[in-house]
Amino acid sequence: MPMKLNLYAESNRLIYRPLQENDLEAMFELDSDPEVHRYLGNKPIVSREEAAQVIRFVQQQYRELGIGRWAIVEKETGEFVGWGGLKKVMESGFVEAPYFDLGYRLLRRFWGNGYATENAFASKQYAFNQLKSNQIFACAHQNNLASNSILKKIGMHQIGEGFFEDEPLFWYKIENEMKHA
């Protein structure tokens, strides 16, 4: 039984909350956009049922693992911006599992506002302060300059290279400095 966590957080401009069924239309808009999937294997979804499956999958992670990606919502407007945060990876071919993986995906109209960076900082704080994790990992497509920059900006260090579904990735890691003080 996973420990019960508060799956809610805030940063300056954003609210992070569990994904809900009523996020369906926004999730469909996000994951059906080919440009959003440019560095994710170029496999956008094509149906609302696929978006519903994604939401159900993340909700299952909340129940079984006590953590999963958040819905990211603008404080000012209440608009769904995308999803982001942490997920617990139970099996991996690159690093020793289990571990917490940092990720994010935003609707295109919200790109360039610093929201992915804000989410990454909030996720890092959540991992270290709430989850008491020693470290977090992330990966980004080697050609995704924006994501690679964000991961470095929050203090992550590249630890290797690899492939996922034939896509070239850089792997990143950051350790909780408070654990070593």
The CATH number of the structural domain formed by 9-180 is 3.40.630.30
Distance from C-alpha of 104 to C-alpha of 72, rounded to nearest angstrom? 9
**Mean pLDDT of the chain, nearest integer:** 92
Is the model's pLDDT at 178 over the cut of 80? no
Task: Write down the pLDDT at residue 42.
Answer: 82
Which residues are CB-neighbours of 132 under 8 A, at least 6 positions away?
Answer: none
Residue range 14-56, pLDDT digits in tens:
999 999 999 999 999 999 999 999 998 888 999 999 999 999 9
Residue range 74-99, pLDDT digits in tens:
999 999 999 999 999 998 777 888 99
Per-domain residue ranges for the chain?
Answer: 9-180
Which tokens in the block code for residue 53? 């499956």
- 8 Å CB contact between 139 and 126: no
Which tokens in the block code for residue 168? 């070239």
State the greatest distance between any 2 C-alpha atoms of the chain, in Å, as a whole number. 49
67-78 b/e with 16+ CB inside 10 Å = b? bbbbbbbeeeee
Is the model's pLDDT at 6 over the cut of 90? no
pTM of the shown model? 0.92
